[in-house]
Structure 1
Amino acid sequence: MAPNRWPTGTFMNRLTNELRSELLELGALRTFPPGHILISQGDRDTSVWLLLDALVKVTGTVENGVEATLAIRVSGDIVGDMSAMDGSPRSATVAACGRAICQQIKGPVFRSFVARRPAAALALAQVVADRLRWANQRRLDFAGYETKICLARVLIALISRHGRATDDGVSIGVPLTRAELGMLVGAKEITAQKALRELAAEGLIRRGHRDVIVKDPAELTKIADLSLLAKPYL
């Protein structure tokens, strides 16, 4: 059996080799440039996108035009599954952060796959549960902690799932602006910037262009009141 190369917790990681192979036979391979919109909020299309080699941002816009970054999805993840399963309009926009290689599967085809493959249905349910857990945790964090601690928690979650080693620490591995980091913890940009400055002044992080380097993960974990061994929320 070939080793599972997909990141832990992703939809593809949760499938057996047999199910992954079957799923990849159901759709068309597509390649997109950075910034391409895979899914637009409000659209009625029901295609599912498997992220084979991609990093995407999930954003939503409310009635007054304010946009919020809701989540990050990586290779092995699935997006568009909610509309595929219930036929409802797209609840968010999904955009590629870099060059993206994806598998497009039509909604009815994906539903048929899940219906005849109980193990795939269970894997999808587990993915949905993880997303709900992430959303609930962010709400609890914002209600119970100051922005600095909320931000520390998100940074730890990001490096746990997407982190990339550098000469002076661990990059969060995701191209996020300070405003987008703030959105992930429900804070305004100016508040998020203040929290980032405090963490940087304490020598815990280094801020770069659309990147954050965590210089001391163990100490940041203490600030966040978490365990490095805890399951990441992302």
Structure 2
Amino acid sequence: MRDYRSFAARLSGAELTVLYACGRPVSYQRGDQLMRQGERGECVIVVRSGLVKVTRTDDTGSIRLLGVRGPGELLGEMSCLDEQPRSASVVAHNEVYGVRIAGKEFLDYLYQHPRAAREVTCQMASRLRAAERHQEAMAAGGVDGRVLWILSDMSELFAPNGARTAEIPLHQHELAQLIATALISVQRSLRVLRTNRLVTTRRGRIVVPCVRCLRRAAVVRETGTEAINRRCADPDCCSG
């Protein structure tokens, strides 16, 4: 079973206090760039509140959304560890507060706190596995299956403390970027999900009324509308 806790949530209170003391508070407004693709990794940032979007620009200049990160997430650790240029950019989705820690101080902290170093390794491994699952889902499923998979996966991240509902901060065109398909195809899939009361849509948000029900639909092996057209059987949840 996946561990959806953030990096900060995996640390003890004492470990987190020492980590924050290594850096300085920073704040960003919507659209501000926290990290830039191609730059040297001279720091890491721990998000304390707000949401950021991770994007990558390809050789043609097209920008693709890779994911969304929230409170407690550690950003920029890979480039800091391997001393390679950053592979993606990070942009504030809304008002963001965090702690910026210089690379040397971060590495010294990890040396002095082996358990925290292990959690960094676990986070990197978890993100690698998530990327592999993403690639498998993109290769195996039709558009409907891909939409269902990515929403189910992200709903786990945005259901605070195991809450039944989740609000995913994505525009529909950003969802299309995540699954590498046309916006009109995503809109069609979302209409089916709305009909089955598995999601509702608002401006800039996709709301999952019942995370458990969406997950149940996502694990169905069929792809396409056969996977999506399964109403929730729980009368207290989204089937009404």
Matched, 1:202 2:196: yes
Q: What TM-score does the superposition give when structure 1 sets the normalisation length?
A: 0.85
Q: Gapped runs of 5+ residues in structure 1? A: 1-6, 227-234
Measured in 1, the distance between the counterparts of 2:208 and 2:121 equals 32
Displacement after TM superposition at 1:91 (Å): 0.8
Q: Contact 1:155–1:172 (CA<8 Å) still a contact in 2?
A: no
Matches within 5 A, 1:53-92: 53-92=49-88
Q: Deviations over 1:67-107 (max 9, x none)?
A: 11111111111001111111111111101111111100011
In the alignment, does 2:116 pair up with 1:120?
Answer: yes
Give SS of 2:126's match. helix
2:219 match: 225
Tell me the distance in 2 between the aligned counterparts of 1:217 and 1:18.
33
Partners of 1:173 and 1:203 in 2: CA distance:
14
Q: Distance in 2 between matches of 1:213 and 1:16?
A: 32
Query: 2:50·2:70 contact (CA, 8 Å) conserved in 1?
Result: yes
Corresponding letter in the other structure for 1:181: L
Indicate conservation of the 8 Å contact 2:29/2:92, yes or no: yes
Q: Is the 8 A contact 2:4 2:156 kept in 1?
A: no
- Give 1:170 deviation, angstroms: 6.5
Distance 2:153 2:186 in 1: 17
Secondary structure of 2:150's partner?
A: helix
Compute the RMSD of aligned alpha carbons: 2.2
Matched to 1:222, the amino acid is R
Match of 1:66, as an amino acid?
A: S
Identify which of 175, 179, 187 aligns with 2:173.
179
Aligned pair count reads 217
**Cα deviations across residues 145-172 of structure 1 (Å, max 9, x unaligned)?**
11212211221222222137xxxx9764
Query: What are the equivalent positions in structure 2 for 1:9-24 lying under 5 Å apart?
Result: 9-24=5-20
Q: Trace 1:98-137 onto structure 2 (pairs within 5 A).
A: 98-137=94-133
TM-score of the pair, normalised by structure 2: 0.83
> Which deviations, in whole Å up to 9, do the C-alpha atoms of 1:156-190 show, x marking residues without a partner?
222222137xxxx9764332111211222232323
**177 and 23 in structure 1: CA distance in 2 versus 1, 3 angstrom threshold:** same
- CA distance, structure 1, for counterparts of residue 172 and residue 165 of structure 2: 14
Decide whether aligned partners of structure 1 residues 216 and 73 sit closer, same or farther in structure 2, where only a CA change above 3 A counts.
closer
Between the two proteins, what is the percent identity of the paired residues?
Answer: 27
Partner Cα separation in structure 2 for residue 171 and residue 93 of structure 1:
29
